[in-house]
Amino acid sequence: MDIFTIDRVGGQGDGVAQTPAGPVFAALTLPGETVRGQVVEGRLEQIDIVTASPDRIAPVSPQYGDCGGCSLQHWAQGPYLDWKRDQVRLALERERIDTDVEPTAAGPPGSRRRVALHARRSPDGRVVLGFKARRSWRLVEVMACPIADPRIVAAIPGLKEVAAAFFEHPKSAPTLHVTWTLAGLDVDVTGVERRSGGGLSADGQIRAVQAAYRADLARLSLAGDTLIMARQPTVAFGPATVALPAGGFLQATPQAEAAMVSRAVAAVKGARKVADLFCGAGTFTFPLATVAPVVAADASKAGIDALKAAVGSAKGMKAITAEARDLFRRPMTPYDLKGCDAIVFDPPRAGAIDQTAQIADTKAAVVVGVSCNPQTFARDARVLIDAGFRLETVTPIDQFLWSSHVELVGVFKR
């Protein structure tokens, strides 16, 4: 066993010890700690903490250390949030971008309204729901989860019954995508073998539907196809109530969503017309429409249909026009965005380099970039800056608590 001093926490949340042979990564360690372990392919295994950091705190999850979901639960809030801020700052520095990075907007425990629970059968035939273990395909059963909405945790016994109906084929590995909505739990199941198994049999569907009723699910769907809907799952976006499409995207916590939306709305105040690109079902669209008319676009036809259907559900909004359009294959051009003096875009993790290039050629005075990946955000930001924009502020958002994941909102002005 060798002894190492942890110099920093790396981008994936592991402690890093710098050695003459290169970096050694040590999970669940903190800067300044002295640790003992065995190096295996650049990673420290069988870690024993010799000297703990004063910033180390007691973890609150019974699955801590085994579950792969929370890699930073042992870190005090102040330095943990500062680290997330530094991840954004470092990503911007790599693109030679110097701007004000605000303190990280913190998220509270017990706020995740959307979780993915993997289902497996144990050797004794029992259905187990949980998360993947750290760096493994093994499943860690969820007994309690301090990041999830308590109403989701309370529903786990009923969700196990639902999952039991989806094991007909030996290749099936069901994942329950569980969302808490205004109507209750919305569950979309993926990972059910279809090619060789033909999907779920009629008997399997009946068992699933019966279990869904017993669990009081608002809706149960299989890869976006509704099996049963007792109540239409809805969410509130600004003044609108939107019927969430089965399997549709929703920000993981309402607090992070509110932090992002409030900054976007504040940035476009005074605009005459706003574009909302990668709009989904209208997370930003409806709040933006309280400021100015909005042109919205997203590749999801189901999301756009839900957005359009909700337009009449709210008062006090300006006009909204929405289009189902793949913005990777067919970005909105300056002609499409004519008259938009403010643009909001919230792309997937891959960023939106082609769409950003089109935004750069518009006459928009304000652009708001929302991102779940600081690296691709920095790349896209460089395109806008080279076109004459200035990145005025960036706010990191801690939506995925105690993970290495960080989201952000950046405001650009001409």
> CA 280: distance to chain centroid?
13
Phi, psi values for residue 90, rounded to 5°: -65, -40
Name 359's Cβ contacts closer than 8 Å, sequence gap at least 6. 277, 337, 343, 345, 367, 384
Name 336's Cβ contacts closer than 8 Å, sequence gap at least 6. 295
E strand map for 28-78: 34-40, 43-51
Residues in the chain: 414
* Catalytically annotated residues: 372
For 172-239, give the DSSP string. Answer: ---EEEEEEETTEEEEEEE----TTT-S--HHHHHHHHHHHHHTT-SEEEETTEEEEESS--EEEETT
Does the CA dihedral 60-66-70-73 come out positive or negative? positive
Task: Read off the tokens for 266.
Answer: 């504040």
- DSSP 8-state class, residue 312: G
Query: Which H/E stretch holds residue 160?
Result: helix 156-164
Other Cβ atoms less than 10 A from the Cβ of 90: the count is 14
Q: CA–CA separation, 142 vs 134, rounded Å?
A: 14
Strand order in the sheet with 225-229: 139-141, 127-132, 114-121, 175-181, 184-190, 219-222, 225-229
The answer to whether 34 and 4 have CB atoms below 8 angstroms apart is: yes
Q: CA–CA separation, 176 vs 160, rounded Å?
A: 10
- Scan for tokens 């109403």, then name that residue: 151
Q: CA–CA separation, 24 vs 63, rounded Å?
A: 25
